[in-house]
Amino acid sequence: MSEILGGYFTSHVPSIGGAIVRGDQQDPYWKPFFDGFPAVRAWLERKQPEIAVVFYNDHGLNFFLDKMPTFAVGAAAEYRNADEGWGLPVYKPFRGAPDLSWHIIESLVEQEFDVTMCQEMLVDHALSIPFELAWPECAAWPVRLVPIAINTVQHPLPSAKRCLALGGAVNRAIRSWPGEERIVVIGTGGLSHQLDGQRAGFINPAYDRFCLDHLAADPDALTRDSIRQIVAKGGTQGVEILNWIAARGALGDLALHEASRNYHIPISNTAAATVILEPA
């Protein structure tokens, strides 16, 4: 039987990619953020995951407004990154796990989550940067990928409650998978930030603290806000907390231990956070 090892959560700010390319990890601006990762790497080294199920949001690389799925599950043998238009390096490809992807899709639809199925799917910095942070300088990613994209671009967005339930359904799908793989769940994005409007630069440490403090033991607390309330508290891009909430759901109902937490303001325009949760 496969095993869910735990969850890795991190911000995915594009400029982190620039800092990695420049080797700025020890620079005073960047160090407090990168200091969150030795614990992540040590945890992954101990746990040796083979597959990553990743909840993230596309930023206009794969999905355009012509067809915008609320929930999309990748079912490809390989996923590629590509030019996103503003100078990030093109990151290395990911090996897929299409057998598990199709199992998750079958199970989700059976559980009445009518997801979009993607046999071709470009994946953007929201996926590549968390991998670069977790496994720096490896020639090829040591895990295979099942990507699950949540729409955080075009309102109406799915509610936080629905995202937590999606994660729960993914958890049940994984637990019914007959494979033997060691699986890590990843949620990327956030925390509070706003890029657009006169309110650009908005950050809310109190709301971030609330999310971090309730993620493990009481994720329902994060689902009581409407999307509009989440935007008010976390900023227009702070809604990426939906990826964290879904990933938390995919860890299931068991008691969790916070193996590490790092929180730092600011990375670019963003309050950045990195967390590991594992079964207690």
Partner 1 sequence: MAQAFAQPVQEEIAGTILFDGAMAQQGYALNAMCFSFNHAANREAFRRDEAAYCDRFELSPEQRRAVADKDVLGLLAAGGNIYYLAKLAGIWGLNVQDVGAAQTGMSVPEFKAMLLGQAEVKGSVQ
Catalytic residue annotation: 125, 193
Looking at the Cβ atoms of 66 and 112, the one nearer to partner 1 is: 66
Number of residues that this document lists for the chain: 280
Residue 137 CB, shortest distance to partner 1, in Å, is 23
Q: Which helix (H) or strand (E) holds 279?
A: strand 270-279
Looking at the Cβ atoms of 21 and 200, the one nearer to partner 1 is: 200
The encoded tokens of residue 196 equal 């657009």
The encoded tokens of residue 125 equal 């910095």
Residue 123 CB, shortest distance to partner 1, in Å, is 13
Looking at the Cβ atoms of 110 and 120, the one nearer to partner 1 is: 120
Binding site for partner 1 (CB under 8 A): 15, 32, 35-36, 39, 59-61, 64-65, 82-87, 153-156, 194-201, 203, 205-206, 208-209, 226, 228, 231-232, 236-237, 258, 260-266, 268-269, 271
Looking at the Cβ atoms of 219 and 234, the one nearer to partner 1 is: 234
Burial class (CB in 10 A: 0-12, 13-18, 19+), 34: buried
Q: How far is CA 190 from CA 115, 244, 279, in A?
A: 23, 8, 23
Buried b (16+ CB within 10 A) or exposed e, 134-172: bbeeeeebbbbbbbbbbbbbeeebbbbbbbbbbbbbbbb
